[in-house]
Amino acid sequence: MYCTVIDHKRNGNIAMPTEMNGMSNRAKSETRDGMRIDWDMPIPMDDGIVLRADVFRPTAEGRYPVLLTYGPYAKGLAFQEGYAKIWEILAREHPDVIAGSTNKYQNWEVCDPEKWVPEGYVCVRIDSRGAARLLASRPRRAGPTAFSERTSVKASVNSR
């Protein structure tokens, strides 16, 4: 999967909120720490639920490979805040993992955009159904191998 960064209105395979025909606009875009970051970008599913993605990309226009993650671990929760004990162990036993980054965008089991974006990648994080900010919209019980989860990942990748 590649993401072509053209301008702030349309960004490759991720639809911007102005294109979502009346969906609530919780999304926010900003440029900081050498990246363009789109927070809570909506990805509508066929059953009416809206998944939310955070997108970290280079600031320069171009075509970039995408590292996509989809899961229940709260894309907006910093690793060191949500999993403090495990973070301490990681920092102590594997300092190379946290070296070269402020780690403020680091999450559980996903790539660190401060390391990957400068290398020419786009990092996309999608909260799965019933995870994090999606709980407020429509809580669901579904594991990562449930049919609805598999179809949501496929639809997320294929959106636009």
**What is the spatial distance between Cα 84 and Cα 79, in angstroms, rounded to a whole number?**
7
Question: What is the CB-side half-sphere exposure of residue 72 using CA atoms within 13 A?
Answer: 12
pLDDT value at 139 more than 60: no
For residue 12, the SS3 value is coil
pLDDT value at 134 more than 80: no
Both tokens assigned to 58: 């280079």
pLDDT value at 121 more than 80: yes
Asked if CATH classification 3.40.50.1820 holds for the domain at 2-76+110-158, the reply, yes or no, is yes
Per-residue pLDDT tens for 107-117?
877 889 999 99
Is residue 27 a contact partner of residue 38, using CB atoms and an 8 Å limit?
A: yes
Per-residue pLDDT tens for 6-52?
433 334 443 333 333 333 457 899 999 999 999 999 999 888 888 89
pLDDT value at 156 more than 70: no
Per-residue pLDDT tens for 62-89?
999 999 998 887 787 888 888 889 989 9
pLDDT at 37: 96
Question: What is the CB-side half-sphere exposure of residue 151 using CA atoms within 13 A?
Answer: 9
Residues 87-113: what's their mean pLDDT? Answer: 89
**What is the spatial distance between Cα 29 and Cα 6, in angstroms, rounded to a whole number?**
14
pLDDT value at 153 more than 50: yes
State the pLDDT confidence band at 136, using cuts at 50, 70 and 90: very low
Look at the pTM and tell me if it is higher than 0.75. Answer: no
pLDDT at 70: 87
